[in-house]
Amino acid sequence: MGQVTVKVNGYSHTIGCKDGEENHVRELMSQIEDKVKVIRDMGGQFSESRMLLHVSLLLADELGDLKVEMARLRGGAPAAAPAAAPADPALAERLARIAERIEGIALTLDKT
């Protein structure tokens, strides 16, 4: 079982992952840290959990935009109707794995 120590919002966290996925976790955490910087630049004081909530919302918004764009490129739906996107089992599987990883990261952050 691999482990990666990352820094998010000034705090160090050790994240468990499958062997060989360490760089992927670092890349994901880099994306999260980028969103933390966006939220911090907006001003205001946020607790760790509130910061994570805002970061999650930004990432979910980006994911929603990507789904709409994928549907548009496939010709399956107009840009205003993301729910009409064609089902893609491989994409659904990948998104489920990403969601599990995010939940694991959130649990780890809650413990520290």
Residue 84 has pLDDT above 50, yes or no: no
How far does CA 99 lie from the centroid of its chain? Answer: 8
Residue given tokens 């994928």 in the structure block = 70
Distance CA 49, CA 107 (A): 11
Alpha-carbon Rg of the chain, whole angstroms? 16
Number of domains making up the chain:
1
Q: Is 46 left (phi over 0), alpha (psi -120 to 50) or beta?
A: beta
Burial class of residue 70, CB neighbours in 10 A (0-12, 13-18, 19+): middle
What is the pTM (predicted TM-score) of this model? 0.59
- Tell me the DSSP string of 38-68: HHHHT-S---HHHHHHHHHHHHHHHHHHHHH
Q: Which residues span the domain enclosing 86?
A: 2-111
Distance CA 40, CA 32 (A): 12
Residue 93 has pLDDT above 50, yes or no: yes
| pLDDT tens digit sequence for 29-71 | 999 999 999 888 888 787 888 888 888 888 998 998 898 888 8
pLDDT score recorded for residue 96: 67
Q: Which residue has the higher pLDDT, 11 or 101?
A: 11
Q: How confident is the model at residue 24 (pLDDT cuts 50, 70, 90)?
A: very high
Residue 103 has pLDDT above 60, yes or no: yes
